[in-house]
Structure 1
Amino acid sequence: MKTFSAQQICDHLQGELLGTTSHEINSPEQIERANDNQITFIGNKKYEKLWADSKAAVAVVNSDISIEPGDNRAFIKVNNADLAMALVLELFAEPGPQFDEAIHPTAVVHPTAVLGEDVRIGAGCYVGAHVKLENNVTLYANATVLDKVTIGKFSTIWSGAVIRENCHLGAYCIIHPNATIGADGFGFRPCPQKGLVKIPQIGNVILGNGVEIGAGSCVDRGKFSSTILGDGCKIDNLVQIGHNSVLGKFCIMAGSSGLAGSVTLGDGVIIGGSASIKDHSTIGSGAVIGAGSGVIGDVPAGKTYLGYPALEARTTLKQWATLKRITEGKA
Structure 2
Amino acid sequence: MIVSRRAVLAGLGGAGLSMPYISRAAAADYSWKFGHGFPATHPVHTFALEAAAKIKETTSGKVDIGVFPNSQLGGDSDLLSQVRAGAIDFFSTGGLIFATLVPIAAINGTGFAFKSTDAVWPAMDGELGALIRKGFEKADLYAFEKIWNNGFRQITTSKKPIRDPSDLTGFKIRVPVSQVYVSLFKALGASPTSINLSDVYTALQTGVVDGQENPLVVADTSKFYEVQKFCSKTNHVWDGSWIVTSNRTWRGVPDDIKAKVAAGFNDGAVKQRDAVTKLNDELATSLQQKGITFNDTDPAPFRDVLKKAGFYTEWKKKHGEEAWGLLEKSVGQLG
**TM-score bin (small chain):** under 0.3
User: TM-score, length-normalised on structure 1?
Assistant: 0.22
Decide which structure has greater strand share.
1
Higher relative contact order (CA 8 A, sep 6+): 2
Considering only CA atoms, is the larger Rg found in Structure 1 or Structure 2?
Answer: 1
TM-score, structure 2 normalization: 0.22
